[in-house]
Amino acid sequence: MRKSLFFVCIRNVLSRQTKATRRQKRAENASGLSSVSLRRILTSFLFLFSNMNYKIRAAVKEDCKEIYRMIVELSVYEKVPDKVKITQEDLERDGFGQNPFFECLVAEVPEEHKSKEGRTAVGYALYACAYSTWNGRSICLEDLYVMQEFRGKGIGKGLLRKVAEEGKKKQCQKLQLTVLDWNKSAREFYAANGAVDITESEGRHVISFHGQNLDNLANEAPKD
Residues that bind ligand COA (CB under 6 A): 74, 77, 144-146, 151-157, 179, 183, 185-186, 188-189, 192
Q: Which of 75, 54, 61 is nearest to 156 (CA)?
A: 54
Q: In 10 A of CB 155, how many CB atoms?
A: 22
131 in active site:
no
**Which residue's beta carbon is nearest to the bound ligand COA?**
156
Q: Which of 68, 127, 145, 190 is catalytic?
A: 190
- Minimum Å gap between C-beta 91 and ligand COA is 18
DSSP letter, residue 122: E
Q: How far is the CB of 223 from ligand COA (least distance, A)?
A: 40
Pairing label, strands 121-132, 103-108:
antiparallel
The distance of closest approach from Cβ of residue 206 to ligand COA in the complex, given in angstroms and rounded to an integer, is 13
- Shortest distance, position 217 Cβ to ligand COA, whole Å: 27
Amino acid at 139: I
The residue among 172 and 189 lying less far from ligand COA, judged by its C-beta, is 189
- The whole-angstrom separation of Cα 80 and Cα 182 is 13
To the nearest 10°, report the CA torsion of 180, 184, 188, 190: -20
* Residue 174 CA to its chain's centroid (Å): 23
Instruction: Give whichever of 155 and 172 is closer to ligand COA, judged by the CB atom.
Output: 155
Given the complex with ligand COA, which of 33 and 75 has the nearer CB atom?
A: 75
Annotated catalytic residues are 190
